[in-house]
Structure 1
Amino acid sequence: MALAVKNWTAVVVSVVAVIVADVYIFTSSLSFSTKAIIFRAHFIFGIQVVLFFLSRYVWRRLGGIFDSHSEQLEKVKDDATTTARGLSRSGPLGVRTPCTVVWRIILFVYLICCHVSYLTNLYFIGTEPAFISMVTYICLGSFVHLITGMLIMGILGCIGRLLQLKRYNANSRRRLRTLAAMMYALSISFYGLYTAHKLPTVKHVRVPVKDLPPSLEGFRIVQLSDIHLGPTVGRSKVKDVVEITNQLQPDIVVLTGDLVDGSVDRLHKAAEPLQQLQTTFGKFYVTGNHEYYTGDVDNWMRYVETLGFTALDNANAKISHQWAPAEQICIAGTNDIDAERIGYKNHRMNLDQALAMCNPKYPTILLAHQPKAAKLALSSKHRVDLVLSGHTHGGQMFPLIIGAYLINPFFAGLYKYGPSSHVYVSMGTVYWGIPMRVFTTREISEIILTRM
């Protein structure tokens, strides 16, 4: 009982510390470069707190799974004091064997890899992913699946107890559930790795647009989103994306945020292949929340322009054919909705500025990284016919899919809003951090505009 109280006290203190740090970061008058450092330290601390308690749980459940058990030791489980002491030392009561010692060393190294995964964002970012980054993030992904498997098996165990299924003794049932969770984690991790390293799927989406000029019927927009150049994504994946995109022969390419998870100095060579994207009318870019987390947003906006992109900093551009210059669509873009919350200089989502001078007689296509921003734009006074967003990754992998679905007004795919407006949310062209995708796919979206 005392141990449980201490654990919950530690959890509460850690959560309060994270909240206080969050408030301090976003309300202080510190320079943004300082805020960015504090924000990263705060984020790392939050992750480590969560991982600590989950790792402790895993260690207690898995540390003694290969112990040699006996009937005599099983009887000791009724002694609360002895049980607590046994669990605190080595998980389930049992006799340690050489196999157990080796297993605990492996488990310890595995848990350490999970803990250091995010630290590779600070020290191992370059043109291509470092080996240590890939290994630690794979461990972190499998850890998520392991916890999920243990939760599923725990639920099944509760159902079994309710149905009074007692084919095996309690320790045997516990061991079987733990082994089943480990098998689940291994199998789903391999599946996630395979899916994430496949080439992106091209999704062809036809969107009816009101007042679309005849000269722009069939206008093709290729949307790239959430590439996340960083510890596990590098230049080679960008080259694959560029090759597939060029085969589509797009009229324009739009990059809807979260291009990077690091500074221009470290990642400019990784992003360089984007210069080879070929379009008829141009390439357009808006920021995502992760660009702001790098603390290097302005440099990235300048750099993508050297790659041939137009950075839409709450701005817009008109597109029309030479033979029909009066018939146009307006391509607008906003800074990420989190820019103001983070406090990055004068950056914020400014719809009035982004849509200024867009002719309301003709369609407006808005680039806004987060679906929450899309909802704000569509419910505003401005004419917005189509919003292209990303951010959600479709949840990237189970069970994170559930959270992404619940907290975003638009989750993934095409949505109709009101009588004639639409939102398209990309699942992301690559992935963030963990190189796994489970029940989601990498995608390159080809948006084809048709007359309504």
Structure 2
Amino acid sequence: MGRLLFLLVFNVGAWAVLRSLWPGLLRKWRLGVFALGTFLSLVAWLYSAVAGRHAQLPVGDAALRVFSVGWSVAIIMIVLAGAPFLLLRRWLDRPARQAPPLTAPEANPTPPVNMARRNLLTNAGRAVPLLAAGTSSVGLANGYTQFSVREVDIHLPGLPPAMDGFRIGQITDVHVGTFIDTQYLQDAVRAMNDAKVDLQVMTGDLIDDLDQLDGTMAALSECKARHGMLAILGNHEHWRGLEAIRQAYADVEARGGPVRLLVDTSHAFEHAGQRVRVVGVDYPMSGRSHRVKAERMQQSAEAGFRDVAPEEVVLCLTHHPDFFPLAAERGARLTLAGHTHGGQVAFLGVPAFWFAFKYMLGRYRQGDHQLYVSGGTGHWLPFRIGVPTEVTVLTLRATGASAAVRTS
């Protein structure tokens, strides 16, 4: 309900901003359109708050959710971008408010306010709703575009020569459901096949709609990588139906499929004579509670890294990127994570919500250990600006001991 109240306040704020910046805009039928848009946008959030975060609306679920996202983004932008114009205009009007009343008629009174500046400011402020609507539309359009294949070289000092050129394909945060279908997932797996990666990984938040679970597992089973696909759980698996999803993974493995689920455990294989161990840890929170996060991560670290041997090259899969320090302490040369979606909005490569996560997007380093946080292969809300959906192909390099690592 807190999110609903937040959006209600912003809708009221947007009405006040538009009324001040553009007094003639919200009149007659246009005021009715604004009220209807506010009502419809809040319905989707209200229904989720009452029936459950992932409950589907009885009618027009996808269309109403898309509209709600676009409307909410535009409303928030109107308030955040329009408020400074109002404050500046009020500051320019201050001389008129503070001027003493005239005691005698004046033939040519000097205007206390610079009207040219005030009019320029007013006209610029009227562009705010157009900018908000345009940005919202671009974000929604980007949200529906196909993923890109992103090639990333990971330079690891001291990497055994046998692992030089080892290729990993990563998908994460696919969210098969309202906005992402199984064909999209199938295309992502085929993209990794076409890239001829040695290992495919899926780092959580695979599915939101269990009605599509069979098709989802069939899409994953198209993996052709020589070492198969290793998957872990994310928070959405815990929320949407953990037992059914785990059973679906188990059924694929029992049939000899190429997909294996790791839950606080590891899987070892040999590549060109070098033994490799991949540790996969569970999502650290129970439900939505963050109070147990540190304790759960510590438990996962102890269980997942229990069988690690000194001669092995260790990789780690975690949905939540905050597990990175624990993985690095236990010898994981590379940790792959998702969860953040890269914030889904970035300007000039900098995530707009950079403060939400310590590790938001891209590469990070702790000593000789590295973390890569994907921007996500899908989304549960179709809105992206500057953070495209991605299928990531990571190539390990043994020759880059002094290579610089960019932190995103």
TM-score (norm 2): 0.78
Matched with 1:37 is none
Q: 1:105 aligns with which of 22, 26, 32?
A: 32
1:67 Cα offset (Å): 6.3
Change (3 A) 1:206 1:232: same
- Residues 141-161 of structure 1, C-alpha deviations (whole Å, 9 max, x = no match): 342233223312322443455
Matched with 1:276 is 222
2-structure distance, mates of 1:187, 1:137 = 15
1:416 aligns with 2:361: no
Q: 1:260 aligns with which of 196, 199, 207?
A: 207
2-structure distance, mates of 1:342, 1:177 = 44
Q: Output aligned runs, 1:2-151, within 5 Å.
A: 45-62=1-18, 100-118=27-45, 119=47, 121-124=54-57, 131-151=60-80
Q: Secondary structure at the match of 1:424?
A: strand
1-structure distance, mates of 2:196, 2:57 = 35
Q: Output aligned runs, 1:198-347, within 5 Å.
A: 198-262=145-209, 264-265=210-211, 267-270=213-216, 272-294=218-240, 296-307=241-252, 308=257, 309-321=259-271, 324=273, 327-339=274-286, 342=289
The code of the aligned residue for 1:134 comes to A
- Residues 90-111 of structure 1, C-alpha deviations (whole Å, 9 max, x = no match): x8xxxxxxxx332233222211
The code of the aligned residue for 1:351 comes to A
* Equivalent residues of 1:312, 1:333 under 8 A apart: yes
Matched with 1:152 is 81
Give the gaps of 5 or more residues in structure 2: 49-53, 94-112, 400-408
The code of the aligned residue for 1:291 comes to E
1:338 Cα offset (Å): 1.6
1:340 Cα offset (Å): 8.0
More helix by share: 1
* Equivalent residues of 1:329, 1:364 under 8 A apart: yes
1-structure distance, mates of 2:183, 2:132 = 28
Matched with 2:335 is 387
Matched with 2:142 is 195
Q: Secondary structure at the match of 1:436?
A: coil
* Equivalent residues of 1:153, 1:177 under 8 A apart: no
Give the gaps of 5 or more residues in structure 1: 1-44, 70-90, 92-99
* Equivalent residues of 2:239, 2:287 under 8 A apart: no
The code of the aligned residue for 2:154 comes to V
Change (3 A) 1:116 1:230: farther
- More moved, 252-261 vs 242-251: 242-251
1:274 Cα offset (Å): 2.2
* Equivalent residues of 2:85, 2:121 under 8 A apart: no
Q: Output aligned runs, 1:334-373, within 5 Å.
A: 334-339=281-286, 342=289, 348-349=296-297, 350-373=300-323
TM-score (norm 1): 0.71
Change (3 A) 1:245 1:416: same
Matched with 1:29 is none
* Equivalent residues of 1:153, 1:180 under 8 A apart: no
Change (3 A) 1:444 1:177: same
Change (3 A) 1:158 1:414: same
1:253 Cα offset (Å): 0.9
* Equivalent residues of 2:169, 2:391 under 8 A apart: yes
Change (3 A) 1:199 1:134: same
Q: Secondary structure at the match of 2:78?
A: helix
The code of the aligned residue for 1:280 comes to R
Matched with 1:76 is none
Q: Output aligned runs, 1:437-448, within 5 Å.
A: 437-448=384-395
Q: 1:397 aligns with which of 345, 349, 366?
A: 345
* Equivalent residues of 2:169, 2:197 under 8 A apart: yes
2-structure distance, mates of 1:424, 1:342 = 25
* Equivalent residues of 1:150, 1:177 under 8 A apart: no
- Residues 11-64 of structure 1, C-alpha deviations (whole Å, 9 max, x = no match): xxxxxxxxxxxxxxxxxxxxxxxxxxxxxxxxxx22212122222223444479
* Equivalent residues of 2:21, 2:86 under 8 A apart: no
Aligned length in residues: 363
* Equivalent residues of 1:385, 1:421 under 8 A apart: yes
